[in-house]
Amino acid sequence: MKPKFNFVFFTMIMAAVFLMNFSSAVYAAEGVAIGDVETIDAKVLAIDKATRTLTLLGTNGNTVTLAVGPEARNFDQIEIGDHLNVKFYESVAVYLGKPGTLPAANAETVLARSPKGDKPAGILAETVDVSAIVTAINRDKRIVTLKKADGKEVSTRVDESVQAFDSLNVGDSVHARYTQAMAISVSKP
């Protein structure tokens, strides 16, 4: 499968991972994973079926009007007073692979919607996996150079909190998985 992302994205992932403070991270023997979930609850105040827009009241008293695209099935099932719940999950996991592993890139998407006639609901999850080979290490400046799947190299500074840097060697592979997921549901109060 051909990746559905630009390799600038890879550089951003690797740079962000190597620069961040891992105080809220989950450590594994060979890597680190960082993730968080945001939840938004809102009440439907107004509906414009002609323009497919909803006016929502958030838990902090703020209102927002948003357009709902035609891919959102069952828009006509939404009623004033319904509750909209959105959960958004985002994570990055980085781990070292076996030396000699070839750089690779892969992207996957999963989408599911409620059946016709039900209240609107759905999930969307996207995962991007990238890997690179360590081609150079400057231990004094804590800089690592990585060769990406497209053959291009990128250098980035590695934060002091990344203990695995001390055991990193030229030829090692570094893997990153970026995941975003969103679940939306509409329910009666």
- pLDDT attached to residue 181: 93
Rg over alpha carbons for the chain, rounded to the nearest Å, is 21
At position 60, the amino acid (one-letter code) is N
Per-residue pLDDT for the chain (189 aa), expressed as one digit of tens each?
A: 333 433 334 444 444 444 333 333 444 445 677 888 888 899 999 999 999 999 999 988 999 998 988 888 889 999 999 999 999 899 988 888 777 777 788 889 998 988 888 888 999 999 998 889 999 999 999 999 999 888 999 999 988 877 788 888 999 898 888 999 999 999 988
The structure tokens 């076996």 sit at 98
Residue 102, both tokens: 């070839």
Q: What is d(CA 186, CA 42) in angstroms, rounded to the nearest whole number?
A: 10
Side chain identity at residue 160, one-letter code: E
Tokens 């570094």 correspond to 174
Residue with tokens 């992932």: 13
- Residue 162: the pLDDT is 79
Left, alpha or beta for 167 (phi > 0: left; psi -120 to 50: alpha)?
Answer: alpha
DSSP designation for 167: G
pLDDT at 30: 56
CA 78 to mean position of chain CA atoms? 28
Rounded CA-CA distance 94/33 in Å is 6
Rounded Cα gap, residues 13 and 104, in angstroms: 14
Cβ-proximal residues to 144 (8 Å cutoff; 6+ apart), any chain: 18, 134, 136, 137, 138, 155, 156, 158, 165, 168, 174
